[in-house]
Amino acid sequence: MNFRVTRTLPLLAAGLLAAFAAHATEAEHIRASQAWIRVLPGDLPAGAYVTLENTGDQPALLRGARSARYGSAMLHKSSAEGGVSRMAMVDELPVPAHGKAELSPGGYHLMLMQATAPVNVGDKVKVTLTFSDGSTLDADFVARPANATSASD
């Protein structure tokens, strides 16, 4: 009896590992493009924008981001009400299966705060995007001037 148990357990463990490896993460199906940061003077927070494309069959949920260059990063959404522009924190941004989500000025964005050192126009800043299953995607965001409206205008 003992003999059987010790032989079965390693096989069971191997089977579980194989099943886990076959399950793709959210981040694996996401392609990031047009990634840029609007750098503002002084200690003002910087908006970060990116286009996310989901090549997978399941929706992915962007939860937030982090970067070694900033003390904190939050997911925000801007809106205009009666000519007044506001922004609010949001918990997540869905990227539909075989679809896109755009973070762009006036809409969803990442708010990067407390730069650890001055970020200059032209710098490439690595930002790690985090998804609801805990998976992550690194993308290089190019720092652009305050009057920029897209990744390349």
For Cu ion, the binding residues (CB under 5 A) are 76, 87, 111
Q: Residue 118 has what DSSP assignment?
A: P
Least CB distance to Cu ion at residue 76 (A): 3
Least distance in Å: CB of 73 to Cu ion? 10
User: Any idea what DSSP says for residue 39?
Assistant: -
CA 114 to chain centre: 18
Task: State in angstroms the smallest separation of the CB of 61 from Cu ion.
Answer: 19
Nearest C-alpha neighbor of 129 from the set 140, 144, 120: 140
- CB of 95 or CB of 103, closer to Cu ion: 103
Q: Which is nearer to Cu ion, 61 or 90 (CB)?
A: 90
Q: How far is the CB of 54 from Cu ion (least distance, A)?
A: 23
- Nearest distance in Å: CB 63, Cu ion: 16
Q: Name 63's Cβ contacts closer than 8 Å, sequence gap at least 6.
A: 75, 91, 92, 130, 131, 132
Which DSSP string do the residues of 46-108 spell out, in sequence order? Answer: EEEEEEEEE-SSS-EEEEEEE-TTEEEEEEEEEEEETTEEEEEE-S-EEE-TT-EEEE-TTSE
Kindly tell me which of 24 and 44 has the beta carbon lying closer to Cu ion: 44
Closest to Cu ion by CB, 29 or 76: 76
Q: Nearest residue to Cu ion, using CB?
A: 76
CB nearer to Cu ion: pick between 106 and 134: 106
Residue 111 CB neighbour total at 10 angstroms: 18
